[in-house]
Amino acid sequence: MSRVLVLNGPNLGRLGTREPDVYGATTFEGLAALCRDAGRRLELDVDVRQTDDEAELIRWVHEAADERLPVVLNPAAFTHYSYALRDALAQRTAPLVEVHISNPAAREEFRHTSVVAGVATGTIAGFGTFSYVLALQAVVELLAEEADRRG
């Protein structure tokens, strides 16, 4: 069973109360349960984490790189300006799927640019919390492709 880190940036711990018209009514605990349930179905060991601290998020990214762990990442506001996070992600050693609950391209102008997208394997956005399920499905496919290449 492959281990996957599902990492979440600032303010995502406030899901369910934070702008429910944008982010929905699911709490962070509900999101974590959704990810773990999807992981079980996909035969993934899913470790869901959230922090409002950029340094902690970067430490988790380093952990993933050192352990060759795939990452599903919702960088939240760090998406748009954290070059430190982007540089840490560039060191990745396994698939990285950027995920967003809302569609940043359909929102305010400042949300249209992701500084982390260029170092991600791909991005899934705009499907609510189901974006995470799609990202975990993508990780499974990416890991299978890697295994096929190795023979």
Give yes or no for a contact between 136 and 4, defined as CB atoms under 8 angstroms apart.
yes
On whether 124 is known to bind a ligand per the annotation, the reply is: no
Q: Which residue matches tokens 């795939």? A: 70
Q: Which residues are catalytic?
A: 23, 100
Interior CA angle at 76 toward 42 and 107, to 5°?
A: 105
Dihedral Cα 39, 34, 4, 93, nearest 10 deg: 120
Give yes or no for a contact between 13 and 118, defined as CB atoms under 8 angstroms apart.
no
On whether 80 is known to bind a ligand per the annotation, the reply is: yes
On whether 62 is known to bind a ligand per the annotation, the reply is: no
On whether 101 is known to bind a ligand per the annotation, the reply is: yes
On whether 86 is known to bind a ligand per the annotation, the reply is: no
Strand residue runs (E) in the chain: 2-8, 44-50, 71-74, 96-100, 122-125
Residues in binding site:
74, 80, 87, 101-102, 111
Residues in binding site for substrate:
74, 80, 87, 101-102, 111
